[in-house]
Structure 1
Amino acid sequence: MDPVIVVGAGPVGLALTRALTRHGVPVLLLDEATDGEDARPARTAVLRPETAAFADRLCGTPVSAAGARWSAWRTLRRRRPAHRQELGEDAPVHLPQHLLARALRSAVDGDGLARVLTGTRLTGLDQDSTGVTVHTRGPGETRHRGSHLVGCDGARSTVRKLLDVRFPGRTAVERHAVAALRAELPWPGEAVLHRSPPGGHEALARPLADGVWRIDWLLPRGGELVTPEALLTRIHDSLTTWCGRLPPYELLDTGVHTVHHRLARRWRTGRAFLAGDAAHLLGSLGTQQLDEGLRDAENLAWKLALVRHGSAPDALLDSYQAERRGAVGARLRAADQTLPLLRSGGAWPTVRRSLLPGTRGEDTLLTDGHLGRGPLGAPPVYARSPLTPPAAEAALPVTPPGAPVEDIPVTAPDGTVTGLRERLGGDLLVLLIAPGTGVWDRKHWMGAGLMPRLAAAVTALPVRAELLVAEAYPGAPAHTVLLIRPDGHLAAAVPGVRPDQLHACADIVRGAGSTRNAASGGSRTTGTSGTGAASANGARTSP
């Protein structure tokens, strides 16, 4: 069996490799570098809760424990506090990017289905009806064969250039001076956004583990040169303003971070795909580039696995571009519309009326972006995806179809109780909402009520699925059956046990069904396959 070829061993390439091998798909990972990612404390990643859980599953250990979950978000304006909000389990995880990369690399190295070739530069690729052939320079082989190719090789992607995919966008939409330092600040565990600080426009202090902070200073437009002396002045001014005096500190790392906004025209060309920095660039106003790249990997992995195992038609792969390019494109549009309104004087009434009526204003926009809320940060909802069946007539759960599910306690048929997110990343999940099952022994409820019929319906699905039970789900009436994708997005909510409707919904999720039958619960259907690339709104185009 030819492997899937992944180009680029950064966090996204490593995550995709590990996600595919967990699905039983062999991977050949090619990387031009010979060493792992450099330890740069000032280069960090902010992961939303569901993305952090994805990373934990891939690594087999809680890699998110190496970071910090912020206890609160505090906003200062000039020298005075503006507002503060407590954060709970939905707080993002902030960790050095090299620690995430090392944990993923360790998991990949211990996986028998993954082969890693370093010091290998991609020079060419050819596609045919059965696979992809790549040509490389480096030690050992110079020709490799795979079933599919995924370019995770960064902003200057060789894969993207060889596919002749345009990468339009905007350059240097924001620039930040960055420092990582160890110090005692007045708000342990809290992230602080300081707007209009003395002598500056905006400063952001975010805690990491072990008393380390990453501090970003928004630079004025025009390419100001950040000298070591100028950066030290910024550090001293900020620390003195926050602490009332200059406290002792240990400077660990510095740099200048330039944010670009770009979106590849196509994310699929035949059997080749783009993901992460090769497909998109963003990062202004709290949007998180690496978080989006990991979502790319999670979205593509289960679809490639189903196609590779013969459980889905090739058309399923079109939905990767339809969903992910559409979601990132919406994020970029929100940021591009908001940037001039937040970074320049005036015009705020316009954005308040048109985008966020009734909000607290600019501070809310920036807070939402950093905390993963609103149009700048909320998890994507694939409501218009070709894989999202139409809503059933009965009352649906609070989670809309296409959105990430809530992390609730669930019980497996063997009696194991875990969080719902811990069951993701494998087969489809079928979750029955059955109040009262928690007080019964498994041997009683597995053979009673709806369970025997539902178990038979799950066995008859066109793809493998795992049956779970929960006492309750927010907004879902008793006996609702939720069909959940391997990436944690809700595919459908079915009122009661309706085998034909459940089967039709599962067919749609694997890219082979009819939305009419899923809505009506009608007869089972078979689908067609395709080999094209989908546009952001789900339309098919030729590769």
Structure 2
Amino acid sequence: MDPVIIVGAGPVGLALSLSLAVQGVPSVVLDEGGGKEEPRPARTVVLRPDMAAMVERLGCATVRDEGVRWAGWRSLRRRQQMRHIELTGDGGLNAPLHLPQHALARGLRDAIAGQKLVRLVHEARLDSIEQDGDGVVAHTRGPGATWWRGSHLVGCDGARSTVRKLLGIRFPGRTAVERHAVAALRTELPWPGEALLHRQPPWRGSGDEITARPLPDGVWRIDWLLPPRGELVTPETLVSRVRDTLSGWCDDSTPQYELIDTGVHTLHHRLARRWRVDRVFLAGDAAHLLGAVGTQGVDEGLRDVDNLAWKLARAWHHGGSERLLDSYQSERRAAVASRLRAADQSLPVLRSSGGLRTYLPGSARGHDSLLTDGHLGRGPLGAPPAYPHSPLAPPDAGEGRIAVGTDDGAPVDDVRVTAPDDTTVRLRDRLGRGRLLVVLVAPGTAVWDRRHWKSAGVMPQLAAAVDALPAKAELLVTEAYPGAAAHSVLLVRPDGHLVAAFSGVRPAELHAAADAACGGAAAGPGGSGRSGPAARSEVLRGSDRTADVN
């Protein structure tokens, strides 16, 4: 069967190719560039703990070697500390991970180098797309101009996506929602390893908001929020900001520093009208742009990968129903739209200047909480998304359905589980393999050898029920799960979202829930992925269609 074609070799496209390879699906990655990442220390990404874990599962060593997990979070207003949060619990695994974007991309490329199912093609610029009932053909131009045949195509080619233009998909939204002057510099600050947000600093010339986030080897990324009217940032004014800021934080004494990289970062908010047209999908910046008030664009792009990869893999191996493939847009577009809506609603409150609102009791702490949520991955601005209204939700609750500490459609807690090979691992370690997970809550199993309890109690009946599911599944056992009683059974999607929880072993209900989670009846080998007559062919050329990208 033909591979999946991925257009774009940024972190999202590279991660998608690896995610598919883990699930036995070959891919061709079309890279416009020459395969080298330009080092830009001032261009960094913040990954929430679950996405950092996903990237590490894909074999990206730079997550460990060149990333920093924040030891804490501080927020200041004028000269007062508003909040201090320690993030060292669980060895820092629940802290955001900060690393240069070029290091992330390089680590993913290194992982691809050892992966036989991924073909990375450099200097391949997409020119046109053709679709029919059996697949997609992508034409490229450049030194090795040719065409590629694939089962599906995913556009991960950024904000000016050629794929999106060829599909004629509109990309409405807001331009220059926020602008930041950015510097990467090596120095010593009073809060080693901790990220910092300083609002309304008392010294002149630094603006209304400064963010400092640590990187390895004593390097910091510092962002200064710029006025919305397009203030010109010259090298002289940036150096002045650096000196004033370091002096203000270090008791009026400017510490030694080495300026490594600078830039101006402009944030836009946009959302593509459609994320799927038959066999072609959009992901990452090609589908959405966000990043104001602490929201994270690359992190959201990796969530697209986590959601789409297992669905494409199922379609590639077994045939995917329209419901399964359509659920990618239904779930992810709604989640990103909610994030954008929350950010847009927060901006007028956070960025208002002066007026009576400034003096309202508790307003400063409320603003601080909003920004903290965005940066730390909490609340409507930052928390991992849930899909409560997913088209893959199981039918109406039966007699055996129960509520646990995780809502249906939300990400499961990362509890420790016993795997089939008798190892004890974190639940997060078993995700991303294209298999459903069935988790039995069985207190006391940790003190007994597995060979004694795997054939006792409800285990034989549950194992038989798991073997009979309509998709591959792995049976795991945990000592406890928040809000779940003994002998509760949790069904978890390959991307870590809870499908349903049951009281005891309910083979029929478990089977129905698993069938719904996989989209129900398949569309046939390979999945048609089409709307309308399967034999229809459509050619989209770069000169034929355009879409608004401003």
Residue 325 of structure 2 is aligned to residue 317 of structure 1: yes
Q: 1:147/1:348 Cα in 2 relative to 1: closer, same or farther (>3 Å)?
A: farther
Distance 1:391 1:211 in 2: 53
Q: 1:71/1:58 Cα in 2 relative to 1: closer, same or farther (>3 Å)?
A: same
Distance 1:347 1:333 in 2: 24
Distance 1:141 1:55 in 2: 32
In the other structure, the counterpart of 1:541 is: none
Is the Cα–Cα contact under 8 Å of residues 323 and 391 in structure 2 kept in the other structure? Answer: no
In the other structure, the counterpart of 2:277 is: 269
Amino acid at match of 2:483: G
In the other structure, the counterpart of 1:161 is: 165
In the other structure, the counterpart of 1:67 is: 67
Residue 411 of structure 2 is aligned to residue 404 of structure 1: yes
Number of residue pairs the alignment of both structures matches: 516
Higher relative contact order (CA 8 A, sep 6+): 2
Superposed CA RMSD in Å reads 2.1
Shift of 1:67: 1.1
Could you state the TM-score of these two structures normalised by the residue count of structure 1? Answer: 0.92
Q: What runs of 5+ residues in structure 1 fail to find an aligned partner? A: 514-527, 534-543
Distance 1:145 1:312 in 2: 19
Amino acid at match of 1:454: L
Distance 1:228 1:360 in 2: 34
In the other structure, the counterpart of 1:363 is: 368
Which of 127, 144, 147 aligns to 2:131? It is 127
Distance 1:416 1:348 in 2: 59
Give 3-state SS (helix, strand or coil) of 1:361's partner. Answer: helix
Distance 1:225 1:188 in 2: 31
Q: What runs of 5+ residues in structure 2 fail to find an aligned partner? A: 522-526, 533-550
- Mapping of 1:337-486 within 5 angstroms? 337-345=345-353, 360-389=365-394, 390-391=396-397, 395-426=402-433, 427-486=435-494
Amino acid at match of 1:365: L
In the other structure, the counterpart of 2:294 is: 286
Shift of 1:438: 1.1
In the other structure, the counterpart of 2:101 is: 97
Is the Cα–Cα contact under 8 Å of residues 45 and 290 in structure 1 kept in the other structure? Answer: yes
Shift of 1:62: 6.8
Which of 150, 153, 169 aligns to 1:149? It is 153
Which of 89, 111, 116 aligns to 2:115? It is 111
* Alignment deviations for residues 491-514 of structure 1 (CA, whole Å, 9 cap, x no partner): 11111100000000000110117x
In the other structure, the counterpart of 1:227 is: 234
Shift of 1:216: 0.1
Amino acid at match of 2:224: W
Is the Cα–Cα contact under 8 Å of residues 402 and 502 in structure 2 kept in the other structure? Answer: no
Shift of 1:37: 2.0
In the other structure, the counterpart of 1:205 is: 212
Distance 2:510 2:298 in 1: 35
Identity across matched positions, percent: 65
Q: 1:430/1:7 Cα in 2 relative to 1: closer, same or farther (>3 Å)?
A: same
* Alignment deviations for residues 422-466 of structure 1 (CA, whole Å, 9 cap, x no partner): 111111111100111111111111100000010011110000001
Give 3-state SS (helix, strand or coil) of 2:123's partner. Answer: coil
Q: 1:359/1:202 Cα in 2 relative to 1: closer, same or farther (>3 Å)?
A: closer
Q: 1:321/1:235 Cα in 2 relative to 1: closer, same or farther (>3 Å)?
A: same
Amino acid at match of 1:320: Y
Question: Which shows bigger deviation, 84-93 or 26-35?
Answer: 84-93
Could you state the TM-score of these two structures normalised by the residue count of structure 2? Answer: 0.91
* Alignment deviations for residues 63-97 of structure 1 (CA, whole Å, 9 cap, x no partner): 24421111111111112322212123421001111
Is the Cα–Cα contact under 8 Å of residues 391 and 401 in structure 1 kept in the other structure? Answer: no
Is the Cα–Cα contact under 8 Å of residues 125 and 142 in structure 2 kept in the other structure? Answer: yes
Distance 2:490 2:391 in 1: 18
Q: 1:373/1:223 Cα in 2 relative to 1: closer, same or farther (>3 Å)?
A: same
Question: Which shows bigger deviation, 97-106 or 73-82?
Answer: 73-82
Residue 27 of structure 2 is aligned to residue 19 of structure 1: no
Give 3-state SS (helix, strand or coil) of 1:59's partner. Answer: coil
In the other structure, the counterpart of 1:183 is: 187
Shift of 1:392: 5.5
Give 3-state SS (helix, strand or coil) of 1:329's partner. Answer: helix
In the other structure, the counterpart of 2:84 is: 84
Give 3-state SS (helix, strand or coil) of 1:432's partner. Answer: strand
Distance 2:380 2:446 in 1: 38
